[in-house]
Structure 1
Amino acid sequence: MTSLALTIRREHPSDRDAIERMHERAFGPGRFARTAYRLREGVAPLDDLSFVSLVGTLIVGSVRLTAVRAGGQPALMLGPLTVEPAFMGRGIGGALMRASLDAARDAGHAVVLLVGDEPYYSRFGFRVVPGGQLTLPGPVDTRRFLYLELNEGAFAGISGAVMPVQAALSA
């Protein structure tokens, strides 16, 4: 069996349909009801911080970061991180995470939030948001609400509601 080279690059607008189909396969129609999706609904991911992985010309993974406000402070919401099931277990998700987080750090962002499995994301430095410090616009298992400081001490003092940037600006 021939090994195909994996490429990671920034997401292009022309990738969006393929990524949406991948999300549909991975998460199904129930993804629209999830709290994290509500934060991304109608808000475009940040092009310079969102990446895809390809084998040849086939998109096999994607990670996106979206701007949010956390307690009135700028932050990023990571997700979804998606890898095609046939390509799982090959380090694609980790490579996408590192590319996205490195780009966010290099661009001067300070805090990244996500809803996900702490045992997986802790290897990138994510920790559980202390109870009651931040609230999301819907129900979430608080053990799955995580944060990462891209700059030491950046999460200190952030508290309140997490909102999409557009909602925060119009509030």
Structure 2
Amino acid sequence: MATVLGSVRAFFAQSAYSIDQENPGDVVARERLLDRAMGEARFRNSSEKLRRGRVPADGLALVARDPDGYVIGTVRLWNVEAGVDASGNAVPALLLGPLAVDPEHEGKGIGSALMRAAVTEAATRGHGAVLLVGDAPYYERFGFFADKAKHLVMPGPSERDRFLALELKQGWLGGAAGVLVPSGRRFGRAGLRKAA
């Protein structure tokens, strides 16, 4: 399947960073970056309950690399069921997060580049919607709004105005209501190879 990452790499070829698929060699660097950027509190949020024991959605674990190849940013998207529709059918969607940039590289547009690449790749792969928990003023510029998630609930405490959604296919979340539940592959040896 052709993806947009080739064109993203070409665009950033002249930059101080590039966007690429995460690979197994990035795991330790990604975890250290998340520790620096978010601390231990990241393990207690409601989004973590949906990610725990799962691997990211196919092709939707991205990293930003500096010119030497070091990981300086990360974003992952996860398969979830966004409640059910009016007929009682589960509504497949993606949950974005965590998005993080190494504190030493903040303010260079890396987070925005990761967001754009992730959303574009999700749309290219045929997904219908992306949800996240985050600051509305930051994520609204990428098309995420609270009203798209108004009938959905995170599986744990979260601030209602920080629960946002972007429809990649118009009307995808129109009739969706209920609690988000994980639906992606479970973590395991085969899953680990595919996640990268």
Same fold (TM over 0.5): yes
TM-score normalised to the size of structure 2? Answer: 0.80
Q: In structure 2, what residue type is equivalent to 1:41?
A: R
Q: In structure 1, what residue type is equivalent to 2:129?
A: V
Matched, 1:28 2:46: no
Unaligned runs of 5+ in 2: 1-13, 84-89, 186-196
Query: Greater relative contact order: 1 or 2 (C-alpha under 8 angstroms, separation 6 or more)?
Result: 2
Of 161, 172, 176, the match for 1:154: 172
**Residues of 2 paired with 1:160 and 1:86: CA distance?**
39
**Residues of 2 paired with 1:108 and 1:24: CA distance?**
32
Q: In structure 1, what residue type is equivalent to 2:28?
A: D
Of 35, 40, 49, the match for 2:51: 40
Q: Secondary structure at the match of 1:146?
A: strand
- Once the two structures are superposed, residues 83-110 of structure 1 have per-residue CA deviations (whole angstroms, 9 ceiling, x without a partner) of 0011111100010011111010000000
Matched, 1:53 2:71: no
- Which one has a larger percent strand, Structure 1 or Structure 2? 1
Deviation at 1:126, TM superposition (A): 0.2
- Once the two structures are superposed, residues 38-71 of structure 1 have per-residue CA deviations (whole angstroms, 9 ceiling, x without a partner) of 1111111124012100112211000100101111
Flag as ranges the 4+ runs of structure 1 deviating above 3 A: 129-132
Query: Are the structure 2 counterparts of residues 166 and 12 from structure 1 closer, same or farther at C-alpha, using a change threshold of 3 Å?
Result: closer
Q: Secondary structure at the match of 1:15?
A: helix
Identity of aligned residues (%): 45
Of 83, 91, 108, the match for 1:90: 108
Unaligned runs of 5+ in 1: none
Q: In structure 2, what residue type is equivalent to 1:53?
A: A
**Residues of 1 paired with 2:55 and 2:123: CA distance?**
20
TM-score normalised to the size of structure 1? Answer: 0.91
State the superposition RMSD in angstroms: 1.8
Decide whether the 8 Å contact of 1:125 with 1:148 is kept in 2.
yes
Query: Are the structure 2 counterparts of residues 27 and 14 from structure 1 closer, same or farther at C-alpha, using a change threshold of 3 Å?
Result: same
**Residues of 1 paired with 2:184 and 2:22: CA distance?**
22
Q: In structure 2, what residue type is equivalent to 1:91?
A: G
Decide whether the 8 Å contact of 2:148 with 2:173 is kept in 1.
no
Q: Secondary structure at the match of 1:94?
A: helix
Q: Which residue of 2 aligns with 1:126?
A: 144
Query: Are the structure 2 counterparts of residues 37 and 18 from structure 1 closer, same or farther at C-alpha, using a change threshold of 3 Å?
Result: same
Decide whether the 8 Å contact of 2:130 with 2:165 is kept in 1.
yes
Deviation at 1:5, TM superposition (A): 2.7
Matched, 1:18 2:29: yes
Q: Which residue of 2 aligns with 1:67?
A: 79
**Residues of 1 paired with 2:111 and 2:149: CA distance?**
28
Q: In structure 2, what residue type is equivalent to 1:107?
A: R
**Residues of 2 paired with 1:11 and 1:81: CA distance?**
13
**Residues of 2 paired with 1:25 and 1:6: CA distance?**
19
